[in-house]
A = this chain, B = another copy of it.
Amino acid sequence: MAEYFKNIPKVQFEGTSSDNPLAFRHYNPEEMVLGKSMKEHLRLAACYWHNFCWDGADVFGAGTFNRPWLQAGDAMQRAKEKADVAFEFFSKLNIPYYSFHDVDVAPEGNSIKEYINNFAQMTDVLEAKQEETGLKLLWGTANLFSNPRYASGAASSPNPEVFTYGATQVMHAMNATKRLGGENYVLWGGREGYETLLNTDLRQEREQLGRFMNMVVEHKHKIGFKGLLLIEPKPQEPTKHQYDYDTATVYGFLKQYGLENEFKVNIEANHATLAGHSFQHEVATAISLGLFGSIDANRGDPQLGWDTDQFPNSVEELSLVIYEILKAGGFTSGGFNFDTKLRRQSSDPQDMFIAHIGGMDHLAMGLKKAAQMIENDFLGQVVSKRYAGWNGELGKGIQGGEFTLESLANLCVDKDLQPQHVSGQQELLENKVNNVLYG
Cα–Cα, bound, A145→B421 (Å): 12
A20 CB → nearest B CB, Å: 11
The answer to whether A431 touches B313, judged by C-beta atoms less than 8 angstroms apart, is yes
* A112 partner residues in chain B, CB cutoff 8 A: 412-413, 416-418
Alpha-carbon distance A439/B256, docked complex (angstroms): 42
Residues on the B chain within 8 Å of A423, using CB: 345-348, 351
Out of B62, B201, B344, B434, name the residue touching A147 (CB < 8 Å).
B62
Is A399 engaged at the interface, CB distance under 8 Å to the other chain? yes
Contact size class for A?
35 or more
CB proximity of A393 to chain B, nearest CB, Å: 9
**B contact residues around A56 at 8 Å (CB):** 148
Alpha-carbon distance A362/B320, docked complex (angstroms): 18
Decide if A419 is an interface residue (CB 8 Å cutoff).
yes
Question: Which of A36-44, A127-135, A280-288 is near enough to bind chain B?
Answer: A280-288
Chain B CB within 8 A of A11 CB: no
Partner of A160, one of B199, B222, B394: B394
CA distance A149 to B422 in the complex (A): 9
Asked if A431 and B398 sit within 8 Å, CB to CB, the answer is no
Flag if A199 contacts B426 (CB, 8 Å). Answer: yes
A408 to B113, CA, bound (A): 14
Interface membership of A357, Cβ < 8 A: yes
Q: Which residues of B contact A191 (CB under 8 A)?
A: 60-61
**The 4 A-B residue pairs with the shortest CB-CB distance in the complex, in nearest-first order:** A305-B305, A252-B252, A345-B424, A255-B255
Task: Give the docked Cα–Cα distance between A150 and B417 (Å).
Answer: 14
- Other CB < 8 Å A-B pairs besides A148-B347, A315-B434, 14 of them? A58-B59, A159-B422, A164-B394, A168-B405, A171-B408, A195-B426, A199-B379, A218-B405, A249-B252, A274-B305, A305-B305, A314-B316, A347-B421, A357-B431
A179 at the interface (CB under 8 A from B): no
- A-B contacts, 26 listed (Cβ < 8 Å): A59-B59, A60-B145, A62-B146, A64-B148, A112-B416, A148-B421, A152-B422, A158-B389, A159-B422, A161-B417, A162-B419, A164-B394, A164-B411, A164-B419, A171-B405, A195-B345, A197-B280, A208-B398, A215-B405, A236-B276, A276-B303, A278-B303, A305-B305, A313-B434, A347-B422, A361-B434
> Do residues A219 and B398 form an inter-chain contact, with CB atoms below 8 A?
no
- A251-275 interface (Cβ within 8 A of B): 251-253, 255-256, 273-275
Does chain B have a CB within 8 A of A245?
A: yes
B-binding segment of A2-10, A78-86, A91-99, A380-388 = A380-388
Chain B residues lying within 8 Å of A52, measured Cβ to Cβ, are none
Q: Do A201 and B409 touch (CB < 8 A)? A: no
**Most chain B CB neighbours (cut-off 10 Å) among A170, A289, A303:** A303
CB-CB nearest in chain B for A437: B315
Is residue A178 within 8 Å, beta carbon to beta carbon, of the partner chain?
Answer: no
Query: Would A161 and B419 count as touching, CB distance under 8 A?
Result: yes
Find out whether the CB atom of A302 lies under 8 angstroms from the CB atom of B278: yes
Shortest CB distance A31–B (Å): 15
Q: Would A412 and B288 count as touching, CB distance under 8 A?
A: no
> Is the C-beta of A180 less than 8 angstroms from some C-beta in chain B?
no
Is A408's CB under 8 angstroms from B164's CB?
yes
Question: Is A111 on the interface with B (CB-CB < 8 A)?
Answer: yes
- Tell me the residues in window 296-354 of chain A with beta carbons closer than 8 Å to chain B beta carbons: 301-306, 311, 313-316, 320, 342-348, 351, 354
> Please, which residues of chain B bring their CB within 8 A of the CB of A63?
148
B355 engages A427 (CB within 8 Å): yes
**In the assembly, what is the distance between CA of A69 and CA of B165, in Å?**
29
